Amino acid sequence: MTKAAHRVLARKYRPQGFEELVGQPGVSRTLKNALASGRVHHAYLFTGPRGCGKTTTARILAKALNCAKGPAPQPCDECSSCREIALSSSLDVLEMDAASHTGVDNVREVIIETVALAPTRDRYKVFIIDEAHMLSGAAFNALLKTIEEPPPHVVFILATTEAHKVPATVASRCQRYKFRPVAPEPLAEHLADIARKEKIDVDPQALHLLARAAEGSLRDAVSLLDQCRSIGEGKVTLESVRETFGFVPQEMLLGAAQALLARDPKALVVWLKKVYEEGVEPAQFLKDLRAALESVYLEKLGAGSGVEPAWSRALAGATAEGLGFLLRRLNRALEELRFGDSPRLALELGLFSAIEAAHDLPDWVRRLEALERRLSSGGGGPALAPAPMPSAVPAPASAPPGWPAFVSAVGAVKIALGPVLEKCGHDVRPEGDWTIRFAKQFDLDAAERAREFLEKAAADAAGRAVRLSLILGAPAVPSNDIVDPAIPETPGGAPPGTRWKDVAEGPGPGLKKAEGVFGGKARIVKKSP
């Protein structure tokens, strides 16, 4: 293909009429109806994420207004008005990019002085102001005066990705249209359509991957396709797309997802090793895993569309509840990864704590209750088999969820606060009330400043919302880190609202056995209503 023949796909496939707009049915329907019934407003405000058709629609609207055979919902695309607008060369349709004309003087020059003049040839003088949020306050004021009393032949179309930055005075005088990020399915269809017209040989799965990577932007989707076409010399395969954009190999994601749902830390370790060996970024891994699980999650809720069959099959046994829990965990891990300095640690903590908190705690509670029954009935009986999970989880994620996990998670991010917490007295209640005692005012202040972070870390470690009380006090207060009460309110566990009450301290003969089961120091707790 020669350079001249190669037109950038995004420009070549810019929609020329409302019918061609993808994924904005509300916008195009309303505009077409208004045009059909001759209701022309003097100012429009198009808002929405980048690359979803705002500028494109502004030009279509300008054509519809100025078409020699219009105003009509369907511009003819043949008259000189239509042709010039499509090429951005019409004297009556002025496009300005506010990002480069932010001063009040430019608005004066370009708008205020031209609005008074009649259109050169067409019906309307249309001002398309792109990136309108970039206008200065003074520029907005100047614009406001014109919008308040516009000459009858003037139409303003403001477009912006940041609607909240447009002053309410201006916005309230505009008719507002909200553009939406385009869903992966229509995006993929659009790409398939372009590929057919361009005779690009594409794997449909590759298109889905591209559509997902575009995150709602049609411009991004189309230029990704363009990029893949040049790299693959006209052929676009799933593997080539994965390689080009650093997507994580599918079997790695599937493997990790299955290990998570099967609560199999050994398998998870194997997959994590692969992740590191292949140089996959922890953030990319978490994001791709989240995207894959999300699509299965939606399918389980009956709201999904187009889950890859391999995923449906592999996660057939998973419940929406379990997947929802995992998704929240992955979200948190990504958040921690963003704020922490060790992506690897965030990845490991996130995944392993998901395994533990998700599935083991109710099991632990059942064990505890069984033990309690056994103890109160006086029978020693054989020791319960030790829970396999925690011992099999490798460091540093081996700490049981709760206080120790909290301290190490904080220490990984807040270098000064971690060691301080290790020495703090703490009272960790199963209902989510945590009290931390600081010996020094200075440390207490530091903790207060980091409260939001601490609460998040505590919630993470406990698997539930946590209310933190940070107080000044002696560090020697006995801490109840023995039966770590990070007990989520889950079916099978203790009923919600159950209170746990200390009834005895110090190991008796039965408790010795308990210590063997759980590995640690034991203290009897009893439920009280």
Ligand X SMILES: Nc1ncnc2c1ncn2[C@@H]1O[C@H](COP(=O)(O)OP(=O)(O)OP(=O)(O)O)[C@@H](O)[C@H]1O
**Contacts with ligand X, residue ranges (CB under 6 A):** 10-11, 13-15, 21-24, 50-56, 159, 161, 218-219, 222
Residue 88 CB, nearest approach to ligand X (Å):
12
The dihedral of CA 139, 142, 145, 150: what is its sign?
Answer: negative
Residue 13 CB, nearest approach to ligand X (Å):
5
Among Mg ion, Zn ion, ligand X, none, the one that 24 touches (CB under a kind-dependent 5 to 8 A) is ligand X
- Strands, DSSP E only, in 368-498? 425-428, 433-438, 467-472
What distance in Å separates the CA atoms of residue 175 and residue 95, rounded to the nearest whole number? 19
Residues forming the site for Zn ion (CB under 5 A): 67, 75-76, 79, 82
What distance in Å separates the CA atoms of residue 77 and residue 16, rounded to the nearest whole number? 8
By beta-carbon proximity to ligand X, the closer residue of 89 and 441 is 89
Residue 113 CB, nearest approach to Mg ion (Å):
25
Among ligand X, Mg ion, Zn ion, none, the one that 11 touches (CB under a kind-dependent 5 to 8 A) is ligand X
Residue 117 CB, nearest approach to Zn ion (Å):
22
| The token pair that represents 405 in the structure block | 């996990």
Closest by alpha carbon to 200, among 156, 235, 238?
235
Q: Judge contact between 107 and 73, C-beta under 8 A.
A: no
Among Mg ion, Zn ion, ligand X, none, the one that 76 touches (CB under a kind-dependent 5 to 8 A) is Zn ion
Residue 17 CB, nearest approach to Zn ion (Å):
11
Query: Which three-class secondary structure state does DSSP give residue 393?
Result: coil
Among Mg ion, Zn ion, ligand X, none, the one that 21 touches (CB under a kind-dependent 5 to 8 A) is ligand X
Closest by alpha carbon to 267, among 389, 370, 167?
389
Residue 47 CB, nearest approach to ligand X (Å):
9
Per CB under 5 A, which of residues 114..133 are in contact with Mg ion?
130
Among ligand X, Mg ion, Zn ion, none, the one that 250 touches (CB under a kind-dependent 5 to 8 A) is none
- Strands, DSSP E only, in 131-195? 154-160, 175-178
What distance in Å separates the CA atoms of residue 105 and residue 126, rounded to the nearest whole number? 19
Residue 181 CB, nearest approach to Mg ion (Å):
14
Among ligand X, Zn ion, Mg ion, none, the one that 67 touches (CB under a kind-dependent 5 to 8 A) is Zn ion
Residue 58 CB, nearest approach to Mg ion (Å):
8
By beta-carbon proximity to ligand X, the closer residue of 22 and 31 is 22
Q: Judge contact between 444 and 438, C-beta under 8 A.
A: yes
By beta-carbon proximity to ligand X, the closer residue of 14 and 101 is 14
| The token pair that represents 279 in the structure block | 């140089």
Among Zn ion, Mg ion, ligand X, none, the one that 50 touches (CB under a kind-dependent 5 to 8 A) is ligand X
**What does the buried/exposed string (b/e) look like for 116-133 if buried means 16 or more CB atoms within 10 Å of the residue's CB?**
eeebeebbbbbbbbbbbb
Q: Which stretch binds Mg ion (CB under 5 A): 47-55, 92-100, 214-222, 464-472?
A: 47-55
Q: Judge contact between 350 and 330, C-beta under 8 A.
A: yes
CA atoms within 13 A on the CB side of 234: 5
Closest by alpha carbon to 117, among 92, 95, 144, 97?
92
Among Mg ion, Zn ion, ligand X, none, the one that 126 touches (CB under a kind-dependent 5 to 8 A) is none
By beta-carbon proximity to Zn ion, the closer residue of 66 and 295 is 66
By beta-carbon proximity to ligand X, the closer residue of 14 and 229 is 14
Residue from the set 24, 28, 55, 146 that interacts with Mg ion by CB under 5 A = 55
State the residue number with the nearest CB to Mg ion.
Answer: 55
Query: Which three-class secondary structure state does DSSP give residue 338?
Result: helix
By beta-carbon proximity to Zn ion, the closer residue of 28 and 160 is 28
Residue 435 interacts with Mg ion (CB under 5 A): yes or no:
no
Among Mg ion, Zn ion, ligand X, none, the one that 272 touches (CB under a kind-dependent 5 to 8 A) is none
Q: Judge contact between 224 and 285, C-beta under 8 A.
A: no
By beta-carbon proximity to Mg ion, the closer residue of 166 and 269 is 166
Residue 129 CB, nearest approach to Mg ion (Å):
10
| The token pair that represents 6 in the structure block | 């190669």
By beta-carbon proximity to ligand X, the closer residue of 51 and 232 is 51
State the residue number with the nearest CB to ligand X.
Answer: 53
SS3 content of the chain, % helix, strand, coil (to 5): 50, 10, 35
Closest by alpha carbon to 56, among 165, 182, 144?
182
Residue 310 CB, nearest approach to ligand X (Å):
30
Q: What is the DSSP string of 488-529?
A: ---TTSSPTT-EEEEEE-S--HHHHHHHHHHTS---EEEEE-
Among ligand X, Zn ion, Mg ion, none, the one that 313 touches (CB under a kind-dependent 5 to 8 A) is none
Binding site for Mg ion (CB under 5 A): 54-55, 130
